[in-house]
Amino acid sequence: MITCKNNFGKFVSLPKKKFVFRPSVYGFILNENKICICRNKSNGKIWFPGGGINPGESIMSQQMKPCILFYFSMNAKRMKLF
């Protein structure tokens, strides 16, 4: 069993087989010299947009651009990995 915190800050124990390695990408967006971030409605925590990457998926065009559009209703014009 693995004990971890859920999104609400409660500790839960889950079987090890429930966990799967999945690469992820998260980023921040600069818009007119301001950093755009997200706030979780259920617990008020701040986070950056992003998510898991499926095998063969491009980080920029298939993962980050749709996240930016979904969370901020903005189209990404320039993106940079660092």
Residues 53, 20 contacting (CB under 8 angstroms): no
For the chain, the structural domain boundaries read 20-82
Identify the residue whose tokens are 């903005």. Answer: 74
Q: Kindly report, residue by residue over 12-61, the tens digit of the pLDDT.
A: 999 998 888 888 888 777 778 888 788 888 888 888 888 888 888 877 66
Q: What is the pTM of this model?
A: 0.53
Could you tell me the pLDDT band of residue 11, with boundaries at 50, 70 and 90? very high
What per-residue confidence (pLDDT) applies to 2? 92
